[in-house]
Amino acid sequence: MKRAQIAVSTLIFSLVLISCSVEETKNQVIDLSKVETIIPKELIRFDKVDSLYFGYVGINSFAFDDGSFVLPVWDPTSFVKISEDGGKVLAKTLKGRGPGELLDIGTPTWDGEDQVYVYDQFQKKIVLYNTDLNLVREFVVKLDNGWRAIRIFPELQEGKYVVEGGPRSFKVAEMDKKRVYVYDLNSEETERKLDLYSHPYIPLGDLINGGSGSAMQLPFGNDQFIVYKPDSKTLLLFDTRTDLIAEININFDTLRTIPVNIPKEELTASEIDDMEKIEKKDGMRNSDWLRIEEALPEFKAQAKDMIYHKQKIWLKTHLKSDYDKWLVINMKGEIVKVVNLPKNSFLTHVSERHLGIRLDDTTFGLFLAIE
């Protein structure tokens, strides 16, 4: 694609997102007490399968039609295919540097059909498996200088993939950047790219040459989520600074926008005080806390995570609650259900048979599906 075409696609998408800012929204306030609320019943929780103990459980998984599912485990580094009842290892990948072997599992994705994708950042390779975790192929993606691959999305068009990248630099001015590329496997080149906004990071410790040795994501901060929509081979993008979810194709053209009306909630003084106590108890320096406190938003971001499953968008909110409160939204943008899940857990997959839940670093759970 020519530079002029790239600029036009980027401009159109940017205008779509800007056209309905949070401040300009005139939507009526939603009363969630009038929406059906569900607390799924837990089926099982476990910290091992067969003789495989989880040293650290990943934050996303994939469930297949027969109820089996693939869970990423970061220690030992492996994809593990597990039976529907959580009791048996059906297949797993190996740790190593050989074909199909992994040293890092990154953020894996599944195409909804027959292939699982992962980017191993330690070996800088993309690995494709089938649903039995047999190796399909491996390849290397080269992005712009100063950028590194973070994850790959399933094939949107034959031989063409969207790759998400982030800056290699830890400079403060670049911490809220990310970029998506269209990569052509046949030519081994990127065809187009689109710059996006990322959840801001707050640098910790002393800054040296504008960079920071460590950082943490801004609590309650905005983000731009990207999820794969397998039934149409498109992507859904949600910039939480707006009230629109955009569906885009391989050319980064906006096919449609979905208006969302999510309750806005102010960040209270008591929440800030509680946060300060926790961070300082964990050893955070006063100077680092002050840097975070100054950057805290007045209003919490509308969402902190997004999952797509069969014509429904699941949005995890920052709303104050004894639960993690997820809103289930149809493709018209209407909230059809509220799902309450355990506090500080991760919803890793949604399927017809069960919901996958990362309960803590080493414990995974399966809950009854609600659809």
Convert 71-88 into a string of H (helix), E (strand) and C (coil): EEEEECEEEEEECCCCCC
Amino acid at 234: T
Can you give the pLDDT at residue 22?
38
Q: Are residues 255 and 275 in the same domain?
A: no
Cα distance between residue 141 and residue 190, in whole Å: 9
Can you give the pLDDT at residue 210?
77
| 343 phi, psi to nearest 5 deg | -60, 135
Can you give the pLDDT at residue 371?
65
Give residue for tokens 């080149």: 189
Whether 122 maps to a domain, the answer reads yes
Whether 146 maps to a domain, the answer reads yes
Radius of gyration of the chain (CA): 21
Q: pTM higher than 0.95 for the full model?
A: no
Q: Are residues 261 and 236 in the same domain?
A: yes
Q: Are residues 199 and 273 in the same domain?
A: no
Q: Are residues 214 and 162 in the same domain?
A: yes
At 277 the three-state DSSP class reads helix
Whether 312 maps to a domain, the answer reads no
Q: Are residues 287 and 155 in the same domain?
A: no
Contact 324, 303 (CB under 8 A): no
Can you give the pLDDT at residue 185?
87
Q: Are residues 206 and 251 in the same domain?
A: yes
228 is written with which tokens?
């794969």
Please enumerate in sequence order all residues whose Cβ is within 8 A of that of 275, keeping only pairs 6 or more positions apart, or say none. 219
71 is written with which tokens?
């869970």
Whether 192 maps to a domain, the answer reads yes
The residue ranges of the chain whose pLDDT is under 50 are 1-26
Whether 214 maps to a domain, the answer reads yes
Q: Are residues 227 and 285 in the same domain?
A: no
Q: Are residues 193 and 285 in the same domain?
A: no
Whether 276 maps to a domain, the answer reads yes
- Indicate the DSSP class of residue 154: P
Instruction: Report the CATH number at residue 18.
Output: 2.130.10
86 is written with which tokens?
């959580």
Cα distance between residue 175 and residue 48, in whole Å: 36
Can you give the pLDDT at residue 28?
63
**Secondary structure element (H or E) that encloses residue 5, with its range:** helix 3-18
Range of the domain at 294: 266-299
Tell me how many domains the chain contains: 2
Q: Are residues 217 and 199 in the same domain?
A: yes
Q: Are residues 207 and 295 in the same domain?
A: no
Whether 332 maps to a domain, the answer reads no
Q: Are residues 165 and 277 in the same domain?
A: no
Q: Are residues 285 and 144 in the same domain?
A: no
Whether 35 maps to a domain, the answer reads no
Amino acid at 72: P
